[in-house]
Structure 1
């Protein structure tokens, strides 16, 4: 097992990693920018190192500074968390060259699965269903138009190296495609340094279902069930739950088998997530694999009792999985609400600020993952996630009621958050009945905000 782990991240995920390491009796080294000098992860780690100025490019994305700090503090492994460098193949390879175990898959696997066109081709070769579309990257708008005419509109233009909804455009008619192709290409080049695009059939208002994967270095691959992540805003998840109301036992088994097949095809090792879209007719299609721990991993931890961070660290240390597929058992229902420092009434504008007062909910089946504390200044330089509220209960209805209660107890004063919007969503009849898809928030946002005005 490792002696000291270097945490190349910040915020709540850094705190979560520190907690897992503490229970495994592993020392931790936290890094921080000047904006995070008083952050919680800095206070909780065994030791901490200032890595640079507030801008991420000069601190949390500075490969040489991170590796130098890891080596100088005597670490033997690096945990990248999520975001930042977690899916950067160069960082993973440099860690290994420096005799630092990267807690995640190899750089080659990250590179292969990070290129969505290449990942699609790999899945197709191994019998994992993919959305109909181009066989690989599309060189220009004319070729894209020909493929779109063949598979039928609407189509989705996507960046091969994309993520988070960037480098992505929906085309509903032939006359729209040239302009949208150029816009997606420009955005992809600006965001990822790679303007490569591919085209696929747009599945209108699907469910977004992802399966949690664990794969060790001995060749064992298992899945731990699904998470329904269909409540989204511009491809950013807001509420996740497990199990999904959209899956019956047979469909769950088929999707789980496909997820395991996808991980095997990639030669995957570590914790990861295989993401699918589920059409209204019950057809499902692979869309991507996230080669890291997910923001919403606590949902799976609550229904399975498996500590995913612990397993991820054990796998990286060369130990076999602590359980088999037959031993995976889901109990009850779990749900997570992402509490972002954003103002839904101002187009979800980021709203960082000082945490003037904080009260976190508690009680049976309630968990809060956050790096907030009273007086903490939420910096404007990074993502807007302030906290994750997770609940577990025997049934979905009890889970919804518990989440409502927990949101009512949550108090964050100093800046607006999405907590009130999440509370409203939990009262919407379509959500309560489980009849929602990725178009839910777009269809109902004005209605939900109007409810808030009446309240």
Structure 2
């Protein structure tokens, strides 16, 4: 076994690898960019090496720097995690030439399976069913458009070297093909350094089911059952589970045999995943699934497989890379219940899942039996605009599917994040979704039910009262809170909940507080408040009562932000400094702002150009994804404040639109 390894990655996967290595007595070396100097994986590793500037191309994707760091630190092997260089065969070659061990498959396997077109041709030769499409070498735009027409719309344009939903576009008509192809190629080039694409038939009502495989390079290959990854948005997985709902013995046998055959076809070594598209219009069938791609690395969703098999896949990776055989035979791998994983991201579901960058002011995860959390950040950490905005993976495990999903939801109920927007509430809504709970989902479920999934309930009076009390500035920690010698000390508090303005009057005294103006008068008693965590007993005029908990108060300059977690829901309030005027900039509807820090890839307009509502103005790239900014109304371009290839800070004005043409 190795005595020291370097982890060529960051975030939760680096933390995950460190934990297993530490248990096995292996020293770990982390690498980090300028943006990650204070990151959790850097703090946990035995040693850390600085790579370079924040952009991944200057740090985590620089093969020479990563290999040099491993040699300088005395590491014997490199674990790539997933993403970044994990499926780059040139990196594998460089690691080998440096006399180090790559903890993963051979470069030849990655080259074969990494290019989706070549992989599909190999699978066809091996008798594995593949999705109809064009997987050839001709990359001429006109030719690809012609092939798309032959396949029949809708089609998917997919990056040949891609994965994780990057460089993928659904195209429904011939008229949309050219723009989609250009966008797909730009995103693929940025994410993978390769803009080649393939065209596939879009399967209606598809389910995404994948099989975890593992080979030891000695001819032994096993599977660890399947995972269902059908809950997706933008072709990226949101909730994954194992085993797949509705899976029969006959379908499992056919699918796992195909997956093992695929791995054997490339003499596979290490952890890999063979992904299939299944027909979701009815029950799963042995003849109703098709090979999609093989990921030659550990998957983000590997924890659900670990939970239902009891094996540590990172440990297997380390042992196989060190020359050991697989630790078990196929007949020794058993299914142990059910597991479901939710990907917790810094993103805004109500705003097109726009990634969020910024400081995490407070971070608390729910806990309990059968709950696992793989996190890569802590309270106080920054979510950088340069990388994937994942906060953590939350996993629930139980004896049954219902129990696993219930435990996952309970863990999300107890998770509290402030400082930036997350998809926590969206994930909770998915856990309650009736179709998902029945196991009848396909990859279009989220899009079809988006309005209901992102809908937020109005704040209940209890949450408003807690927020008002927190915003009052009263000392609530002692028995004499709000004591006043002459008469009652009354405090009026004004809160903002989105666009709504809420007022409440607070009258403290004798260790309890009366709250008025919100309808009926209520009392808060048995108050415990340590500055961030709050609990109290609420007593209504009708005699009913309940215990309330908990809130987080975050103060930034003259603005007080209050987040209340109550009965699993979070409610956000603000108390603005009354001395500060309203920020008029928010009302300039003609100003097109950068949604976050990123690179300007396209500028489609110039000063004086007439535009209509919905016209594309600018295309930005941030966190490995493209975002199209469109005109909010008919008008004329007054000015353009950005250039192609330049960087724009979040909130910066990119284009200004006026109702009338401004000359001179």
Scaled by the length of structure 2, the TM-score of the pair is: 0.66
User: Aligned to 2:227, what secondary structure does the other structure show?
Assistant: strand
Correspondence for 2:361: 356
The superposition leaves residues 69-97 of structure 1 with CA deviations (integer Å, 9 ceiling, x where unpaired) of 11011111000101111111111110000
Q: Using CA pairs under 8 Å that are at least 6 residues apart, name the structure with larger relative contact order, 1 or 2.
A: 1
How far is the alpha carbon of 1:178 from its aligned partner? 4.5
Partner of 2:112 in structure 1? 112
Shift of 1:359: 1.8
1:233 aligns with 2:233: yes
Unaligned runs of 5+ in 1: none
Decide whether the 8 Å contact of 2:217 with 2:267 is kept in 1: no
Distance in 2, matches of 1:142 and 1:194, equals: 19
The aligned runs of 1:67-82 (5 Å cut-off) are 67-82=67-82
> 1:192 Cα shift?
3.4
Number of aligned pairs?
A: 455
Change (3 A) 1:180 1:405: closer
Worse-superposed segment, 64-73 or 332-341: 64-73
Check conservation: 2:5, 2:27, Cα contact below 8 A. yes
1:211-226 to structure 2, matched below 5 A, reads 211-226=211-226
Matches within 5 A, 1:327-342: 327-342=332-347
CA distance in 1, matches of 2:154, 2:459: 37
CA deviation after TM superposition for structure 1 residue 158, in Å: 2.1
Describe the SS at the equivalent of 1:209.
strand
SS in 1 for 2:160: strand
> 1:139, CA displacement in angstroms?
3.4
User: Counterparts of 1:171 and 1:374 in 2: how far apart (Å)?
Assistant: 41
Aligned residue number for residue 55 of structure 2: 55
Decide which moves more: 416-425 or 28-37.
28-37
CA distance in 1, matches of 2:232, 2:212: 19
Match of 2:298 in 1: 293
- State the shift of 1:154 in Å: 2.4
Distance (Å, rounded) in 1 between the aligned partners of 2:415 and 2:231: 21
- Return closer, same or farther for 1:453/1:290 CA change in 2, 3 Å cut-off: farther
Cα distance in structure 1, aligned partners of 2:183 and 2:228: 30
After superposition, what is the alpha-carbon deviation per residue over 1:210-242, rounded to whole angstroms, capped at 9, x for unaligned? 111110021100010111111111011110011
Q: Deviations over 1:17-44 (max 9, x none)?
A: 1111111111111111222222221121
Structure-1 residue corresponding to 2:635:
none
Instruction: Say whether 1:436 aligns with 2:441.
Output: yes
Q: State the alpha-carbon separation in 2 of the partners of residues 444 and 409 from structure 1.
A: 24
Indicate the SS of the match to 1:195.
coil
Residue 438 (structure 1) shift:
0.3
Matches within 5 A, 1:53-452: 53-280=53-280, 282=285, 283-450=288-455, 452=457
Distance 1:205 1:409, change over 3 A: same
Aligned-pair CA distance for 1:274: 0.6
Q: What secondary structure does 1:21 align onto?
A: helix
Say if 1:5 and 1:78, in contact at 8 Å, map to a contact too: yes
TM superposition shift of 1:53: 2.0
Deviation at 1:190, TM superposition (A): 4.7
1:141 shift after superposition: 4.1
CA deviations 1:319-351 (Å, max 9, x no partner) are 000111111101111000000011112221222
Check conservation: 1:138, 1:199, Cα contact below 8 A: no
**CA shift digits 1:399-426 (9 cap, x unpaired):** 1211111111111222111111000111
What SS does structure 1 have at the residue aligned with 2:455?
Answer: helix
Report SS of the residue matched to 2:277.
strand
> Displacement, 1:170?
2.5
Deviation sequence 1:183-216 (CA, Å, 0-9, x none): 4345434543433222222111300011111100
Further displaced range: 370-379 or 302-311: 370-379
Question: How far apart in 1 are the matches of 2:81 and 2:353?
Answer: 25
Write the deviation string for residues 362-386 of structure 1: whole angstroms up to 9, x where unpaired. Answer: 2211000002223222323211000
Distance, in Å, in 2 between the alignment partners of 1:184 and 1:137 is: 17
CA contact (8 A) 1:215 1:221 kept: yes
Q: Partners of 2:302 and 2:255 in 1: how far apart?
A: 18
Q: Distance in 1 between matches of 2:347 and 2:176?
A: 32
What root-mean-square deviation, in Å, do the aligned CA atoms of Structure 1 and Structure 2 show?
1.8
Q: Aligned pair in 2 of structure 1 residues 328, 188: CA closer, same or farther (>3 Å)?
A: same
Q: Please give the alpha-carbon distance, in whole angstroms, between the structure 2 residues aligned to 1:120 and 1:207.
A: 19
Counterpart-to-counterpart distance in 1, 2:424 and 2:259: 32
- 1:79-117 deviations in Å (ceiling 9; x for gaps): 010111111111111000001100011112111111110
Give the TM-score normalised by structure 1: 0.96
Bigger mean CA offset, 411-420 vs 301-310: 411-420
- Asked whether the 8 Å contact 2:361–2:419 carries over to 1, the reply is yes
In the aligned structure 2, how far is the partner of 1:292 from the partner of 1:438? 23
User: 1:385 & 1:362 partners in 2: Cα distance?
Assistant: 19
Residues in 2 aligned to 1:356 and 1:154: alpha-carbon distance in whole angstroms: 44
SS of the equivalent of 2:87 reads coil
Contact 1:11 1:41 survives alignment (8 Å)? yes
Shift in Å at residue 454 of structure 1? 8.2
Q: Distance in 1 between matches of 2:421 and 2:184?
A: 31
Q: Distance in 2 between matches of 1:85 and 1:92?
A: 9
Name the CA distance, whole Å, in 2 between partners of 1:375 and 1:200: 44
Q: Is the 1:145–1:177 Cα contact (8 Å) retained in structure 2? A: yes
Question: Aligned partners of 1:362, 1:175: CA distance in 2, in Å?
Answer: 50
Change (3 A) 1:142 1:346: closer
Closer, same or farther: CA 177–59 of 1 in aligned 2, 3 Å: closer
Question: Comparing both structures, which one devotes a greater share of its residues to strand?
Answer: 2
Name the SS for the 1:163 alignment partner: coil
Moved more, 410-419 or 79-88: 410-419
